[in-house]
Amino acid sequence: MTVNAERFLEDLHTLRSFGAAGVGKGVVRPAYSEADIAARRWLAGRMQEAGLRVQFDPVGNLFGLAEGPSLLMGSHSDSQPEGGWLDGALGVIAALEIARSSDRPVSVVSFQDEEGRFGVTTGSAIWSGHLPLAEADRLTDHAGVPFAAARAAMTDLAGGFVDPARFSGFVEMHIEQGPTLDTEGGQIGVVTDIVGIRDMVITFAGQQNHAGTTPMHLRRDAFQALAAFNAQINDRFRNVVTPRTVWTIGHVSLHPNASSIVPGRVSFSMQWRDGDTERLARMEEIIRQTAAEVAEARGMALSYGPMLGLEPVAMDGRLRMALEQGAESVAPGRWRTMPSGALHDATNVSRLMPVAMLFVPSIGGISHDFAEDTDEADLVAGLRVLDHAVAALGRV
């Protein structure tokens, strides 16, 4: 089968136009935003033109379904609040091109809210049964918008959940979002495993007060509590973590966030990732222990939001082998196997069927930033590897 690289690149750039940020090639296309829904409507049209039966499920996951049993390929088309044009989009458009040009039955999916506006890879977590819909409906984003309200914007499109039994496996192409391939001059990464993750919101509540008249020793300053907590977990993690372990406080809301007011409350996102479930659990113990000690020492009230998480997952051997054969024929000497430090929908789908992933380089290792980009030659090389792999997999 012959993939059409020009059509593939053109569709990628058209998808980028939905929520184009006007900064580099960046996009602002969070789940359920106008740009996201418009992009999904456009994708549905392209799937229809490709001869696929379009089905949106109740949470906005968009499927283009081939007749009968098929291989599922795809990713997500929602973005981070400041997103790159390829994160997720690449996998969806590559899947569409393969489905269009393949003589094998290939279905296409764009999962919803992989970027976790409401949680962690929400759409595929719900589809795969990891997150009950009723529980998801109670989640809110950082602005307090409930998931149920956000997904109501797509009610007119919503159909039923697609039965996963029709798919023989799932293959997701994605940008690496890290520095490995770019630094080594590699063109293709065949993924071995995807890290696990834990994510929760922690709140310290102390005493709001006047920044001029409140002596330091009488303060119950929420920012100081966060600062102490952060310093202590960095210290205590030292003998627990490996170079692959990461942890991030990415979202902080300080109340009332005014320069002349001692902050009375802070809520912050605490996220950590590792390839080992034990280590994730050990880090959780340290986080909870440290938060309790800081709260006690500073007279703060401590509370936690729901903890969301996914376990580490290994890729399927047979699908991985097909990708490795494809990589060897398309990019001999310029491919490698590697773990994924980023999360992907493939983690959730792995509960339902065999999964595998393919990476192409991120220039400068940059992602989750408007500057995210990949050389066109590498994008096309990744498409060709998928082309080979699907042919190698034969009839599903």
- If the CB atoms of residues 176 and 221 are measured against ligand HGY, the closer one turns out to be 176
Q: Are strands 355-360 and 246-248 parallel, antiparallel or unpaired?
A: unpaired
Note the residues at the interface with ligand HGY (CB under 6 A): 114-116, 342-343
- Please indicate if the annotation marks 174 as binding a ligand: yes
Closest approach of ligand HGY to the CB of residue 115, in Å:
5
DSSP label of 154: G
- Please indicate if the annotation marks 368 as binding a ligand: yes
- If the CB atoms of residues 88 and 169 are measured against ligand HGY, the closer one turns out to be 88
Distance of CA 258 to the CA centre of its chain: 33
Q: Does 117 bind Mn ion (CB under 5 A)?
A: no
- Please indicate if the annotation marks 87 as binding a ligand: yes
Closest approach of Mn ion to the CB of residue 346, in Å:
7
Helices (H), ranges, 238-359: 277-298, 317-330, 345-349
Q: Which does 345 bind (CB under 5 to 8 A by kind): Mn ion, ligand HGY, none?
A: Mn ion
- If the CB atoms of residues 70 and 121 are measured against ligand HGY, the closer one turns out to be 121
Candidate ranges 278-286, 337-345, 349-357, 379-387; the one touching Mn ion (CB under 5 A): 337-345
Closest approach of ligand HGY to the CB of residue 197, in Å:
7
Closest approach of ligand HGY to the CB of residue 342, in Å:
4
DSSP label of 315: P
- Please indicate if the annotation marks 372 as binding a ligand: no
Q: How far apart are CA 64 and CA 51, in angstroms?
A: 9
Ranges of beta strands (E only) in the chain are 53-56, 62-65, 70-76, 106-111, 167-175, 188-194, 196-205, 209-210, 246-248, 252-255, 261-262, 265-274, 301-304, 308-310, 313-314, 335-340, 355-360
DSSP string over 23-87: STT-B---TTSHHHHHHHHHHHHHHHHTTPEEEE-TT--EEEEPSSSEEEEEEE----TTB-SST
Candidate ranges 39-47, 48-56, 114-122, 380-388; the one touching Mn ion (CB under 5 A): 114-122
Closest approach of ligand HGY to the CB of residue 295, in Å:
28
Q: Does 369 bind Mn ion (CB under 5 A)?
A: no
Closest approach of Mn ion to the CB of residue 87, in Å:
4
Total residues at interface with Mn ion (CB under 5 A): 6
DSSP label of 337: E
Per CB under 5 A, contacts with Mn ion among 86-105 are: 87-88
CA–CA distance from 250 to each of 163, 272, 379 (Å)? 36, 11, 29
- Mapped onto helix, strand or coil, the DSSP state of residue 115 is coil
Q: Which residues are annotated binding-site positions?
A: 76, 87, 115, 174, 368
Binding residues for Zn(2+): 76, 87, 115, 174, 368
